[in-house]
Structures are given as C-alpha cells and as structure tokens.
A and B are shown apart, each in its own frame.
Chain A
Amino acid sequence: MTETTSQPIPAQSKRGLFQQLELDMRLLGMIGAFVILCIGFNILTDGRFLTPRNIFNLTIQTVSVAIMATGMVFVIVTRNIDLSVGALLATCSAVMAVVQTEILPDMLGMGLNHPLTWILTIIVGLAVGTAIGAFQGWMVGFLTIPAFIVTLGGFLVWRNVAWYLTDGQTIGPLDANFLVFGGTSGTLGTTLSWAVGIVATVLALAALWNSRRAKQGHGFPVKPAWAEAVMAMIIAGSILGFVAILNAYQIPARRLKRMLEAQGETMPEGLVVGYGLPVSVLILIATAVVMTIVARRTRFGRYIFATGGNPDAAELSGINTRMLTVKIFALMGFLCALSAVVASARLANHSNDIGTLDELRVIAAAVIGGTALAGGFGTIYGAILGALIMQSLQSGMAMVGVDAPFQNIVVGTVLVAAVWIDIVYRKRLGAR
C-alpha cells in the first residue's frame, strides 16, 4: 500500500503543431468562424463593422446574454435546461427598478440618487434571482419535476410577475450610479483601462507559468517551451489589443462637453478622451474567470461534470445530486439577476419586454459554444464565444441591411448547422 515509485512517463512523441500547443481544435474552429464572420461583415459594410465604435457596442450588447450563458453551461451539462432565464431577468429587473425608484427614495426617504441606492438595489436583485433559481432547482432536484416543465412554467410565471410588479409600465430613469453598469455611461477611461489590461496580462501569464510548474513538479509531460511562449504571446496580445481597441473609441466631442459641464468645468479645445473598458465588460470577465475556476478547480464543478457524464455513478460516489441541482439553478438565478443589472442599466430604464427571447439566445450561445445537450461537456469560454458569435451575426446583418425576418432565419439556421458540425466533429474524434 505504501509503494512510492511512480510510473515511468513515456517521452513525448513527435506530434503535430496544434497538438504541441495543446489547443482545443473546437475552440480554434469557433475562433476561425468568428474571424471569418467579422471580416466578411467588414467587407460588406465597407469597413464599418470593425471600427472601435462598433466593437465597443458589440461588446456591451453581448454582456447580458454571455453572463447568463455561463450559468446555462452548468445547467445543460447536468442534462437539464432552463427556459425561464429571460423571464427571470425581467422579474429581477422589475424588482430592482421598483426598489431604486420607489422603495428606497420614497418609502425609506433616501431621496433620488442616494449613494447607497445602487448597492442596496443590486443586493436585493441578486437575492431575489438566487432565491427564485433555488426554488426552481428544488422542484427539479427534490420533487423530480423535469427541468423543462419547471422552467417552462417559470417562463410564464416570472414574465408576468414582472408585468404585475410594474403594471406593465416602463420605469425610468434609473438611479444615476446604477447606470454605471450599463456600458457607455460607465467606462474606466484610457489610463485605468491600460492598468487593468496590464494587471490581467500579468495574472494570466502567472497562471500559465504556475500550471507548468505544477506539472513539472510531478514529472508530467509539459508543452515545449516555444509552444508555451507562443501561447503567452497570444494571451498578452489579445488582452492588450482588446484594451487598445476600446481605448481608441473616443467619446464624441459634444457628449464630452456635456459631461464636463455637468462637473462644472469647461472643455479645452481639441480634448480627446477614449472610453476604455466598460464596467459591464469587467463584470463579464470576472464572471467568466470565476465560473471557469468553479468548473475546473472546485468540487462543485467536478460534481457537475460527473453528474452530467453519469448521474448514477455520481450518486453512487456519494455526491448529493439533488442538492447539486438546487445549487446549479440558484447560481443560474444569481447570474440572471446580474444580467438584469447590466441589461436594465444599459437601457437606462426597466421596460416590460426586457429579456424577451433571451432564454433562446442564452441556450443557443451555450450550444454553439459546444455544450452538449446530452450532458457532460461544455466550456465557459465556449459559451461566451457563442454569445459573441450570435450577437455579431445579428448586428452585422442589421448593419448590412438584411430585413428583420431574414436575420432571425439566418440565426436559426446557423444554430442548427453549428450543432450538426459539432456532431460530425465529435464522431470523427471517436465517441467522445
């Protein structure tokens, strides 16, 4: 029982370029499709698609769906589905709208734009979202009602709870501090964005280095040093390039003048200020990092994938799969509330139709991103890339001038085709 000699590890055999980089072929395929899509639209729009301005808008439009898609990965990986995310977003948005425009200012006498309003509002919103999600998860896990039915019911219930709470009216304007989470009204500016970009790059490279060290420490095979260096350069280049693009989008002169006048200053001649990273994008990045760590490095995440792969084995291994279901749906509810913050802040008001059809966009993003409906497979970055592809497709077609009905026809077709390509790809890899 105490044998310590470890098994000899075979020398790395010669392998292909991509294998040495240990890049996920599926991820490469998606990035390839995305790049082709962007270049295609850029040509069709005479270069208007890949401008800093459009990339900035595309990014902030994607955030809401992308945040929810990360949670949907966990739901689908465990062989469930959540059809209620758009309606849940609406309920959270309605609750937060009422809290920040009526309850906090009037009932508690805090007045409009009190510095505590935004944080109290968000806490209430997140709590409501998590509670509703947990309740739906409890019905799926403990009452064993199929998730499809629970969330189909939830879809009708929460959409109309939101309606009831607001009498179907648009509530706005929202709290001024709350709007910071929306996008254009809340960006870091160029200097701070560069700082964030550099810190992120350093952290990402440190993580890469650490993982290599851990593997070497146990004597496992590692990538060749040149492959590691290429990866490091790609990572650093993407992060800093992204920041550079968002910094290059300048705040329009008139808007800048108004902003400065609001602060009691006059605008100097020829002043140019870039937007930089939007706060909402930072929230998405933080969500993506946390969710990726949860998926790969926590017991909770490990149990999610084990349960998706073989629910019986998970149960027999002593995993409490019912409680796991509750936690997954609670997390989904939390993320819906977070999306509601971003979505309503971006629109600067709560409207009755907020989040309509989001459930389908979110599921489509997760599925295009490689989450298998049969369970057990899915990645957070895939889902986010899926959301980005969907949004690019939609707004690219709008820019080109494709009629609205055709836009949806194309998106639907792409969804089905993407899943078909995925099936073919998995078959060729062998039954994985």
Chain B
Amino acid sequence: MSNAKELRASGATPLVEMKDISISFGGIKAVDHVSVDLYPGEVVGLLGHNGAGKSTLIKILSGAYQMDTGEIRVNGNKVEITNPRDARAHNIETIYQTLALADNLDAASNLFLGRELTTPFGLVDDSAMEAECRKIMHRLNPNFQKFSEPVSALSGGQRQSVAIARAVYFNAKILIMDEPTAALGPHETQMVAELIQQLKAQGIGIFLIDHDVNAVMELCDRASVMKNGQLVGTVDIDDVTDDDLLSMIILGKRPGVAAA
C-alpha cells in the first residue's frame, strides 16, 4: 500500500488521469466536471449512492460511453477512447456488475471473446483456448471444473471467476471492477479480496466501485466519493474512518479532518 503512496508523493506520472469529465443524458448531468486519478499498484474506491454517477464515470473509461467534455490520460499521454476496443488497446479491462458474459458459450469462449486464439489458417482454436483457460482458472479458482458447459450452468462465484480471468489473462494494467462481490457469498468475496491484493502487488491499478464502505476501507488505498454527478472529494483511506466516508456519501461534505 505504501508503494503507491510513495509513488504519488514522488510526483510520478499517474497510470490514469481523468480530468474534468462531463457527460449528460437528455439534459441531466450524470457526471459533472469530475477528475480522478490512479497510480500503479493502487486501489482507488469509487463510492456513492445509486445514481451518483460512479458507474457512468467508469463506463467512459471503459469505452461504453463517450464523454461530452474532459480528457483522459494514460501514462501521461492523452488518449481517445470511443469504444471498448480502444480501452482494451490501452490495457484497460473492465469487470462489469452484470458480468457481461455470453450465457450460451463456455468459459473459454467467454474468456477469449473478441480476442480468440486462432490456428495458422485463421480458424478459432478451441483446444488451445480451453488449455489456456484451464491454466488461468486453476490459478484463480482451483475448484473450477465446468469447462465444457455454457456459463449459464455456473454459480455466481464461478461466473465471477470467468469475468476476472478475462481481465487478468490479457495483462490488464488498469482494471475496473464494478461491484465485483455483489453477487457472491462470503467465501467467494474473500477470494476476490485476495485476488485484488495479488494484482496490486503486480503493479496493476484498480478502480473499485462499491456500495460497501467496509469493503472499500479494507481493500482501497484512496477513495473518491461522488454525489449527484459531482465529486465530493478524494481521501486517503489511512486518514479517514468509515463514518467520515459515510458522511461524505450521505451529506456530500468532506469531513474537517480530511480536508487538510
């Protein structure tokens, strides 16, 4: 955790900077001049009520929405992200709340969806993909066995493993997790928490969207709180209590302690 902090203090270039981002839907400002950043090996929590704009903000980064104004920098370079393919090209991977899996396909097909391994003749190489899938799933979730069944036959946690495997396999530098534990039981939640620590240690930057203040306190280095489309503030987790975060979420005000 301290690594990321030192990096920030030393004035290193952030992995991602989202500057002054705005987007409106039919006259409603869903995101209103918000700026957030993320350093390598850091987990930044995005907090707020439903409709606060956190998912919308992050969908701009993952290419699902296009911002009206603002700029995105990756490693200090200004980038254009107009669709999910652009985001992937910048090593930005997203694990969606809805998991975004094709239910009728098996785990390997979902893992490689949009980036299939092919044989020299340009045909999809299912055996090679299944072999790779077995390797990565063995690392992430050793209990995973259902390789030849459609993912609709999997449990919530197993589906989540597939979604996470997809991000991890393709060497994400920037990982967006939208409520990764929402559909999971306690054991599986613990698994995701351990995974986040692993990924941090590899220098991956993670945006973690969550409702659960306790999860954010436990997993994140910093937290950015949003309310009604605006950024309430970004705080160092070490400097705040969970009550401070709650009051930021509910009242939309920065606590006096953290304001300094």
Chain A interfacial positions (CB closer than 8 Å to B): 1, 3-7, 9-10, 214-215, 217-218, 220, 293, 296-299, 301-303, 305-310, 312-319, 376-377, 430-432
Contacts and interface: CB of A to CB of B under 8 A. Distances in A.
Given A302-B124, A310-B101, A313-B113, 8 more contacts: A3-B135, A3-B139, A218-B130, A305-B102, A306-B105, A309-B102, A314-B102, A317-B114
Nearest to B131: A218
B124 A306 contact: no
Interface string B109-128: 11001111010001110111
Contacts of A218: 127-128, 130-131
B153 interface: yes
Contacts of B137: 7
A6 B135 contact: yes
Given A218-B127, A310-B100, A6 B153 contact: no
27 contacts: A3-B139, A5-B135, A5-B138, A7-B135, A7-B138, A7-B142, A10-B145, A215-B127, A220-B127, A298-B123, A299-B124, A301-B124, A302-B113, A302-B124, A305-B104, A305-B105, A308-B104, A310-B100, A312-B98, A313-B101, A314-B102, A318-B83, A319-B114, A376-B102, A376-B104, A432-B150, A432-B153
B148 to A, nearest CB: 9
B202 interface: yes
A250 B84 CA distance: 61
Contact of A297 (B96, B115, B123, B145): B123
Contact of A306 (B88, B109, B134): B109
A318 B114 contact: yes
Contact of B113 (A9, A10, A314): A314
B171 interface: yes
B212 interface: no
- Which 6 A-B residue pairings sit nearest by Cβ, starting from the closest? A309-B104, A309-B102, A376-B104, A7-B138, A317-B114, A318-B85
A293 B123 contact: yes
B65 to A, nearest CB: 11
Contacts of B126: 297
Contacts of B36: none
Contacts of B124: 296-299, 301-302
Interface of B: 62, 64, 83-85, 88, 94, 96, 98-105, 109-110, 113-116, 118, 122-124, 126-128, 130-131, 134-135, 137-139, 142, 145, 150, 152-153, 171, 202
Contacts of B118: 299
A319 B83 CA distance: 10
Contact of B102 (A5, A296, A306): A306
A318 B88 contact: yes
A218 B127 CA distance: 7
Contact of A316 (B96, B105, B123, B134): B96
Contacts of B202: 1
A305 B114 CA distance: 12
A3 B139 CA distance: 8
Contact of A430 (B115, B116, B153): B153
A217 B127 contact: yes
A316 B84 contact: yes
B102 A214 contact: no
Contacts of A10: 145
A313 B113 CA distance: 9
A7 B139 CA distance: 9
Contact of B100 (A7, A305, A317): A317
Contact of B109 (A220, A302, A319): A302
Contacts of A376: 102-104
B115 to A, nearest CB: 8
A310 B124 CA distance: 20
A248 to B, nearest CB: 37
Interface centre among A3, A316, A432 (most CB of B within 10 A): A316
Contact of B84 (A4, A318, A431): A318
Contacts of B171: 1
Nearest to A294: B123
A213 to B, nearest CB: 10
